[in-house]
Amino acid sequence: MFKEILHGFTDLLFPLNCALCGAYDPSTAEQPLCQQCLTTIPYNHPPFCLRCSRHINRSNEQGLCPDCIQQYPDFDDAWVFTRYQPPMTELIRSFKFHNKTSLRKTFHTIANTFAERHSLELRADLLLPIPIHPVRFRERSYNQSELLAEIVSDIFHIPVNINILTKMLLTPRQSDLRRKERWTNIQGAFKIENSSIIKNKEIILVDDLLTTGATASEAAKTLKQAGAAKVKLIALSAA
């Protein structure tokens, strides 16, 4: 009896149910998805867009996705771990807007799996998470890209800096805007706090979701104008 109560109590504290399907699975103590749901992750796979690395259906002459053909982004290279399809859509929403920060453990598994599949070896001087405006930070109490940058740092041993690139304009959410508006909405939104740290350095930006590429492109442009040698991008998912 006492054991059962104790067990019920620890289950409340450390629920062993999958964050997606709710199935009981002791492995969710390590990361919140059951083994079955983990197999449904839509990993990004070739052919990749030569610039933003999202999956393209058929390799065209330029090797670019429709977004990059329309507006060539300012970052130099990119890696995207997954495609923005279920269940990634739900996982990213929960991670970003519903405090489900424990999902970072699942994203760590995803990043590791992708890196192994593609023998990914990343080298750079610094990882910079795409910042959010202080007002958004107060609403949310964390920056999802910062948590993702810590994962990338852990896997590839590149230091994270959260103080160099800041967001000074409170822009409407990109997800509320049409594709074209996203490029003008984000212009001039970022600021560099200490450009001596990034001078002639290779930088990798980290973001949760790549859609048009406007946000990462603007951040890359701002960093290059401040003296960064190369700016690349890692995104957890791409639409």
Contact 109, 38 (CB under 8 A): yes
Of the candidates 18, 160, 231, 233, which one interacts with Zn ion according to CB under 5 A? Answer: 18
The size of the interface with Zn ion (CB under 5 A), counted in residues, is: 11
Contact 214, 201 (CB under 8 A): no
Q: Least distance in Å: CB of 43 to Zn ion?
A: 17
For residue 21, state whether it binds Zn ion (rule: CB under 5 A): yes
* Distance (Å, whole) CA 225 – CA 45: 32
Q: Least distance in Å: CB of 176 to Zn ion?
A: 22
Binding characters for Zn ion, 42-61, by CB under 5 A (x = yes): -------x-xx---------
* Distance (Å, whole) CA 112 – CA 100: 20
* Distance (Å, whole) CA 103 – CA 35: 14
Of the candidates 31, 41, 44, 68, which one interacts with Zn ion according to CB under 5 A? Answer: 68
Tokens standing for 149? 């940058």
Element (H, E) at 222: helix 214-225
Closer CB to Zn ion, 68 or 192, in the complex: 68
From the list 204, 88, 74, 95, the residue with the least C-alpha distance to 149 is 204
* Distance (Å, whole) CA 205 – CA 128: 5
Closer CB to Zn ion, 82 or 143, in the complex: 82
Closer CB to Zn ion, 70 or 195, in the complex: 70
For residue 37, state whether it binds Zn ion (rule: CB under 5 A): yes
Closer CB to Zn ion, 98 or 199, in the complex: 98
φ, ψ (nearest 5 deg) of residue 185: -60, -35
For residue 29, state whether it binds Zn ion (rule: CB under 5 A): no
Q: Least distance in Å: CB of 65 to Zn ion?
A: 3
Tokens standing for 143? 């920056």
Q: Least distance in Å: CB of 186 to Zn ion?
A: 17
Chain residues in the site for Zn ion (CB under 5 A): 18, 20-21, 23, 34, 37, 49, 51-52, 65, 68
